[in-house]
Each structure stands twice: as C-alpha cells, then as structure tokens.
Amino acid sequence: MTTTLTAKKTPITVAYGDGIGPEIMDATLRIITAAGAQLDVENIEIGESVYNRGLSNGIEDSSWDSLRRTKVFLKAPITTPQGGGFKSLNVTVRKTLGMYANVRPCASLHPFVATKHPNMNLVIVRENEEDVYGGIEHRQTNQVTQCLKLISRPGSERIVRYAFEYARVNKRKKVTCFTKDNIMKLTDGLFHKIFDEIAKEYPEIENEHWIVDIGAAKMADSPEAFDVLVMPNLYGDVLSDVAAQITGSVGLAGSANIGDHCSMFEAIHGSAPRRAGQNLANPSGLLHGAILMLLHIGQGEIAEKAHNAWLRTIEDGVHTYDIYKEAVSRRKVGTREFADAVIERLGQRPQTLAPVEYAKGEQMDIAARAEGNRAQKTHVGVDVFLDLPGGNPDTIADRLTKANVPGARLTVISNRGTKVWPQGNPDTFWSDHWCCRFEGTPFGADTMLAVVGAVAAAGFEVVKTENLYTFDGARGYSLAQGQ
C-alpha cells in the first residue's frame, strides 16, 4: 500500500497522564509516527500532579488554551486522587468543550484473544452530554430523591446523525437504536422519533430499534447481530463497557469523544498504577484511541496502516502479559517491545483476522440542520408536588377541592407516578411524596400561582411544581400509571 503524506502537520495536544500513561503514550506515538502520522505535538500536564497542586479539575488554565488551539486531544489515563474535593477530569473536559459523541469500536480478535463471540465487530455511539448526566438531583422529602433526565431535540439529532454518518463513511451496514420509550415516552420517545426521522435520510443503511433491556441481552448474547449502535448517555455508558469486555479484554479498546470544537481520544482503561514503570502495560487501548484520532483528522491511510500492523502483531502471537496465553501466544513482550513489533509490521496486513479498510477522503457531514417550526405551546395545568408523611389521597383531595381556585380543577393525585385518586388501588404503597394535578383552559401563570398559593394556604408543603403544556395540541407530560 502506498502512503500519501498529508502536506501539513496537524497540531494536537498530548497528555502523558499518570501510572502506565507515559509508557503507553510513548509506545503509541512511536507507532503512529513510524506509520507516517503528520503531527505537530503540544504537551500538557494533567492528572495527579496537577490535582496535588490544588487544582480540583486536574488541569491547568494554560492547558485549556492548548486544547482550544489544537482542538485535538490525545490523552493517556490519569490517576484520580482518593478523597473528596476532586472533580473528574474526563467529565470536566467533555462537558466544558462540548464533546457530544462518545464512539467506541469493539471487535473480537478470535482466536488470538479468547472470547465467546468470535465474530463480534460493533461500534457504540453514545450521547455524551445529556440524559441523567446533567447530575441535576434533589432530595425533596424524607423518603424521595429525584434525578432529572433531559433529552433535547438538537442533542439527539446530532448524535443520531453522527451515528448514521459514521456508518456511511465507514461502510457499515446497519444502525441500531436502543431506548426505553415504552416507559419514558417523552424523553426516550423523542430520541427514538428523531432516530426514525434521520434514518429516512439514509435509505442505503438498514435501521432498527430495540427496547434497551432486551437489546442489551441480545447484544451480550449475540453481538455479531449488531453493527453501529446509538443510544442515550446512561445506556451507552453501561453497554459500551459490556461490549468492550465481551470482546475478550477491556484493555484493548480505545474511544473518541467528539465535539464541534474539540475532540478527545483515549484508551478506555485507567492508569493501572500497580503496573507503572515496569515496561509491562499493553499500549493497544491508547493506540486504538490514536487510530480514531488519525481518522478524525483526515489521516485515514496512516490509521489503516497502523491498525493492520497491530492486527498482524496480535496474529503473530506477540502479546503483552495481559493477553498472553501459552496456547496461542508466541512471545511475551513488554510495552516497548510490543511497539517495536508493530513498527516492524507496518505495511503488512493480517492473514486470519479481517484487515481494516478506512475510507479515504470521505468526510462526515455532521453540520446541524435548520430548526423546524416551533410548535404552538399551550399552558393547560400544573403538577404540584407535596411532602406529606402519612398522607391519605382521599383526605388530600377533599382539602384541595375545598381550596377551590377558579379555572383550576384537581384531576388526579399520584404517588411516585401511580394514580392514587380518584379510585386508587388500596394495595398501592404511599410514600411521603405526592403529585396533585390541576388542569383548566385557559390556564396561565396567574392560575398556576393561585393554585400554589391555595395549596400552601390549605396547610400543605409544596416541594416543587411542574407546568403542564401541550405542543400543537399533543400532551407534553406523562399520565400517571393507572390513569
């Protein structure tokens, strides 16, 4: 294969991290440089030493300048200090720089790395910013806590579009969406709806949707049935680890965090402090992060060359301690020798495993599309949440009905999402957290405030209110179970 060198070097920011980080970064950079990567490297310091200087995020202000300048971050794992007061560097970098897509390819290396799934080759595209990861939580009563799950149309559109564009450019055949929209009809329902909308723009790519529980079971049992998977943040967080593990080793996987302004590439494992400084660690996970980076910056031919040489090294039985098995391995090597072995094989392709072929020159089109017309939003009621230990739905309803606010009618009382009035089931458990729904048309801010005032005046403790709206006539709120 001929290698076309890019005329210009791409600036990237590199952090060597902690523990095994410096060794695997050194090995990774040696391999991709030998493969012909055209990089202009800026080094920054992150992790333990920075935390210990008193910076709670583990990153210096000057490092942000480098990241904003290069927009590409190749990061080795870091050690997060024990104890309180420290924030996750990864979460800080992802959120601050708007890295909305987490991409994790997981392919098995049968028969060279033991796995129950010899034909597995899937990519999980996980939404990276929304869902419950806003971390917006409240304790509202003695018994009840809540976490806010936020799913937005633009956030879902760009992750779903990213998944289809990834499939198109990488010649993948199918995109599968996992949600739990049979329960979360509005949040996961929006994600699913947008998936169906965007799928229509890609008629050449097969698409399907699974409810996440049975989908996850299917993925763990028959991962070869999947190709590209796209899902909201929490499901993706859990299932991308499952997928990496069932290839045979989490230690081999890399991941990309993609944003409009800056993207970060890394191994999925941590800094393995016990293995540090002994020339033992497997650099493959970070090498895969670097391969994703090369693809991202348009050096696909270099990525292909490095990846195929790595596959050949694995096939030739040159293995670090973590994947070494007497039956299939030929040489047990350290980090440096493993990198040397990959470099020796640059230009070779695997003979048993499928070689990779990365598209040349194909760019993903992930630009946001124009927003559609805004829906007509109509205020139709309010949910008033109460903290009331030992409450009884009939008594609550009686007192609230007597409070009588013109234009607002008490329609239902629920407890943790289940209807308890009118005609509740005597077997339903009542916590101290009650939701009283008032509806009326028209229902404006004045009515809402009058309702809250009347409920408080009736002697109840209001812990939260949630307005009820319709959008173009469609209900923008859930019904209680049993309603």
Which residue, 229 or 323, has its beta carbon nearer to ligand NAD?
A: 323
Tokens 């045979």 sit on residue: 248
The encoded tokens of residue 141 equal 């009563």
Q: Any idea what DSSP says for residue 355?
A: P
Which residue, 338 or 385, has its beta carbon nearer to ligand NAD?
A: 338
CB of 341 to ligand NAD, least distance (A): 15
Long-range contacts of 328-337 (CB under 8 A, 24+ apart): 328/111, 328/112, 334/278, 334/279, 334/280, 335/20, 335/23, 335/24, 335/26, 335/27, 335/279, 335/280, 335/281, 335/282, 335/283, 336/23, 336/26, 336/27, 336/279
What is the rounded CA–CA span in Å between residue 468 and residue 169? 42
CB of 439 to ligand NAD, least distance (A): 48
CB of 286 to ligand NAD, least distance (A): 7
The encoded tokens of residue 38 equal 């055209």
Contact in structure between 469 and 439 (CB atoms under 8 Å): no
Which residue, 20 or 343, has its beta carbon nearer to ligand NAD?
A: 20
CB of 22 to ligand NAD, least distance (A): 12
Which residue, 90 or 431, has its beta carbon nearer to ligand NAD?
A: 90
The encoded tokens of residue 122 equal 């899937």
Which residue, 273 or 317, has its beta carbon nearer to ligand NAD?
A: 273
What is the rounded CA–CA span in Å between residue 301 and residue 323? 27
Amino acid at 170: N
Which residue, 80 or 415, has its beta carbon nearer to ligand NAD?
A: 80
Residue ranges that bind ligand NAD, judged by CB under 6 A? 20, 24, 77-80, 90, 251, 266, 269-275, 281-282, 285, 322
Which residue, 107 or 412, has its beta carbon nearer to ligand NAD?
A: 107
CB of 402 to ligand NAD, least distance (A): 56
CB of 19 to ligand NAD, least distance (A): 6
Which residue, 38 or 92, has its beta carbon nearer to ligand NAD?
A: 92
CB of 274 to ligand NAD, least distance (A): 6
Helices marked H in 77-211: 89-96, 153-169, 187-199
Contact in structure between 124 and 239 (CB atoms under 8 Å): yes
What is the rounded CA–CA span in Å between residue 33 and residue 339? 11
Neighbours of 371 (CB within 10 A): 9
Omega before 111 within 30 of 0, i.e. cis = yes
Burial of 4 (0-12, 13-18, 19+ CB in 10 A): exposed
CB of 269 to ligand NAD, least distance (A): 4
Which residue, 270 or 482, has its beta carbon nearer to ligand NAD?
A: 270
Half-sphere exposure of 109 (CA within 13 A, CB side): 28
First to last CA, the chain: 65
Strands 137-139 and 99-107 turn out to be unpaired
CB of 418 to ligand NAD, least distance (A): 39
Query: Shortest Cβ contact with ligand NAD: which residue?
Result: 270
Which residue, 76 or 420, has its beta carbon nearer to ligand NAD?
A: 76
CB of 92 to ligand NAD, least distance (A): 12
